[in-house]
Amino acid sequence: MKKWKAAAAVLCLGIILTACSSDQEKEEQQEKPVPDLEIKVEEQENTAEEKNSGEDGSIEGSDEETGERREEIVVLDPGHSSVVAEGTEPLGPGSSEQKAADTSGTSGVSTGIPEYELTLTVSQKLKSELENRGYTVVLTRDSNDIPMSCVQRATVANDADADAFVRIHANGIDDSSVQGAMTICITEQNPFYPELYPQSRALSDDIINELCKAAGCENDGVWETDSMSGNNWSEIPATIVEMGYMTNPEEDQLMASEEYQNKMVQGIANGIDIYFGY
Ligand SMILES: [Zn+2]
């Protein structure tokens, strides 16, 4: 993958400790108008009800249609939070290298929406869709004001004895022309759980391909790195989904729209289905 795009994900996930928690970025988030989350959640619940009732006819494999239950458990991790977890934690189990526990993330250059709000909105929609398909789904956080470190997020997945850990993020970079989606997983030489590489890579491939097919966005592929502590601490196959660039005005606007969010949700869910062989 292109180096500058890797650098963008670095910004989103805060490998560089200061990158995502600069005072400037915090000020920018505070100054920009933040849409009312309660209204958004309400709209989303209404949409889920419509889908459950089968009115739009587009949901396959829902409980109401087939009664099918699936044995797999999926943990979804909406990236970041409005209250950023403080301090540092090891890069992986037993590691002496420390990373920031969490970062504030990026925000929409056009919409002003903070990344943590977008990731929760999409994760809640994705939870409904996956439950309709028969999966058991757990969210690492279900509100915006809960601070969660990356290790805590991975611990939720580990404790749930989950089969897949899907972390939802959006990207940011200092170039408004950059757009596209990617997924991120560990390398084959991961110092912590290298045995998880083949499954994490397959999960990442399936999700990015289906996401881009459904949403029509640029496919930037899979970035393999062992610098993501939440992935390193996961004892189950894990991937980070960078849905698009909030620093690109068009992609920012798209990701904020109900229609595009539904496309992304369908794509990610389709990728999870393929990963599990459905
Ligand atoms: Zn992020």
CATH of the domain at 190: 3.40.630.40
Q: Are 112 and 50 in contact (CB under 8 A)?
A: no
Find the domain containing 30 and state its range. 3-276
Tally of domains in the chain: 1
Please give the pLDDT value at position 239: 98
102 C-alpha to center of ligand 1: Å?
Answer: 9
Give the pLDDT band (50/70/90) at residue 68: confident
Q: In the chain, how long is the greatest CA-to-CA distance? A: 54
51 C-alpha to center of ligand 1: Å?
Answer: 29
Tokens representing 25 are: 């970025």
The span from the CA of 48 to the CA of 262, in Å, is 11
**Average of per-residue pLDDT values in the chain:** 84
Q: Are 154 and 165 in contact (CB under 8 A)?
A: yes
Name which residue leads in pLDDT, 171 or 26.
Answer: 171
Name which residue leads in pLDDT, 12 or 176.
Answer: 176
107 C-alpha to center of ligand 1: Å?
Answer: 9
Report which of 251, 265, 262 is spatially closest to residue 220, judged by C-alpha positions: 251
80 C-alpha to center of ligand 1: Å?
Answer: 6
105 C-alpha to center of ligand 1: Å?
Answer: 5
| Section 221-237 average pLDDT | 98
Per-residue pLDDT at 64 exceeds 80: no
64 C-alpha to center of ligand 1: Å?
Answer: 35
Please give the pLDDT value at position 186: 98
165 C-alpha to center of ligand 1: Å?
Answer: 15
197 C-alpha to center of ligand 1: Å?
Answer: 22
Give the pLDDT band (50/70/90) at residue 31: very low
| Section 83-108 average pLDDT | 95
What long-range pairs does 187-193 form, CB within 8 A, spacing at least 24? 187/224, 187/225, 187/226, 188/224, 189/226, 190/92, 190/226, 190/232, 191/92, 191/95, 191/226, 191/232, 192/92, 192/93, 192/94, 192/95, 192/226, 192/232, 192/233, 193/232, 193/234, 193/235
19 C-alpha to center of ligand 1: Å?
Answer: 11
Please give the pLDDT value at position 204: 98
Q: What is the DSSP string of 229-271?
A: HHHHT-SS-EEEEEEEETTSHHHHHHHHSHHHHHHHHHHHHHH
Tell me which residues have their CB within 5 A of the ion that is ligand 1.
12, 79, 105, 169
149 C-alpha to center of ligand 1: Å?
Answer: 13
65 C-alpha to center of ligand 1: Å?
Answer: 35
58 C-alpha to center of ligand 1: Å?
Answer: 30
